[in-house]
Amino acid sequence: MKKFFAVIMFALMLTTTARAAEFEMVEYSAQVKLQWLAAAGIPEAQKFLKLINRPVFFNAENLNDFERMELTNSLYQNLNYAAAMEFVRGKNYKNVFDLACSLSPRAMILGDEGRNVIVGELQTVCLLGDWCLEEFGSKKAIKNVEYNSFWLQDRAGMMASADKFKGEICIIEQGVMIYLADDVRAKMYDNIRDVLKKHGGCLITSDFCQKEYFTAAAAALYGEAEAPKLYAQTKAMYEKVFGDKIDDESLQSEQEALEFLKAHGLHAVKYPLFTVAPKLNVFSRLTPAQIQKVNELSTRNYLWVITAL
């Protein structure tokens, strides 16, 4: 009996330690994304960081090539952030389901515009998100935004959140696929299909071309020759935060991605990131030549709009 108890206690300890490490990783990745958005000059991201008051994760002392890494990641995050908001506004979606986006500056803004926004995240991020909303969300944002805790692979959890919306939903998912195991990713897409079938709307993402897209963003700043190096350094940086390997190879060929989506009852159409040249916060840090290159990049079809078949 004693032996049995000891085994149970040991298993519990292991689970608790693994869970703690997992949540730590999650909070770190949420924080890193905010660091790049804040460096791009996005006030909401700066407010989140100020409130959670953690030491800045990466700096010139602990990250090689810091200046270029910061600007490249800030540009990439700013592009994603602005492209998703432009899409939602262009189609005037009233319901936005922001999946695994960590603490979400765009939820604050879209909620303040009167749209209903649910951020689907893990519980630790939700607790921080609720606190930030209370502390600096506008009255409208507090009314319209909520953080719901569920795993992406949890159908009932995702559907229970989606069912709170009335009408079509714009789901946003960006940058999480590379962290997911094949079975979790497959479940996430099945769940998204079920939500879209029931409620209508679409999923927007750049995850199926993220490697090419990030490299193009780096090339716009530092040229074609330097871009693969900045991509590789960024991947290594996120692997350090994540504490594991990142799968950035799967589903990066268009044909493979379309077949994967079809197998999950989904269909994709590719759109330009922006329909008119964007005004990005990060432009205040770029030269006119860099801005021109970013404007060229913004017309490329990196935004996948995915609907249920």
For β-strands 145-149 and 201-205, DSSP reports them as unpaired
Residue 243 CB, nearest approach to ligand SAM (Å): 13
Rounded distance between C-alpha atoms, residue 144 and residue 274, angstroms: 26
Phi, psi of 244, deg, nearest 5? -160, 175
84 contributes a contact to ligand SAM by CB under 6 A: no
Of these, 26, 83, 171, 203, which contacts ligand SAM (CB under 6 A)?
26
Q: Is 173 helix (H, G, I), strand (E, B) or coil?
A: strand
Size of the site for ligand SAM (CB under 6 A): 19
Phi, psi of 122, deg, nearest 5? -80, 160
Residue 289 CB, nearest approach to ligand SAM (Å): 27
Of these, 78, 95, 102, 205, which contacts ligand SAM (CB under 6 A)?
102
Rounded distance between C-alpha atoms, residue 55 and residue 57, angstroms: 6
179 contributes a contact to ligand SAM by CB under 6 A: yes
Residue 192 CB, nearest approach to ligand SAM (Å): 12
35 contributes a contact to ligand SAM by CB under 6 A: no
Of these, 72, 73, 74, 80, which contacts ligand SAM (CB under 6 A)?
80
57 contributes a contact to ligand SAM by CB under 6 A: no
Residue 43 CB, nearest approach to ligand SAM (Å): 18
95-99: strand order across its sheet: 145-149, 116-121, 95-99, 169-173, 201-205, 303-308, 266-271
Question: Interface residues for ligand SAM in 123-142 (CB under 6 A)?
Answer: 125
Amino acid identity, position 137? G
Residue 152 CB, nearest approach to ligand SAM (Å): 4
42 contributes a contact to ligand SAM by CB under 6 A: no
Rounded distance between C-alpha atoms, residue 308 and residue 24, angstroms: 35
Question: Interface residues for ligand SAM in 151-170 (CB under 6 A)?
Answer: 151-153
Rounded distance between C-alpha atoms, residue 133 and residue 160, angstroms: 22
**Closest residue by Cα to residue 258 from 306, 197, 293, 302:** 306
The residue (of 21 and 289) whose beta carbon lies closer to ligand SAM is 21
83 contributes a contact to ligand SAM by CB under 6 A: no
Contact by Cβ (8 Å): 74, 40: yes
Contact footprint for ligand SAM (CB under 6 A): 26, 29-30, 33, 80, 100-102, 121-122, 125, 151-153, 174-176, 179, 184
